[in-house]
Amino acid sequence: IQALTEGLRLAREINAQEAFRDFTGEELDPGLHIQSDRDIQAYNRRNLLNEYHPSGTCKMGTDDMAVVEPGLRVRGIAGLRVADASVMPVVTS
Write out the catalytic residue numbers: 53
Contacts of 82 (CB under 8 A, 6+ apart): 58, 67, 68, 72, 74
Beta bridge partners of 68: 60, 74
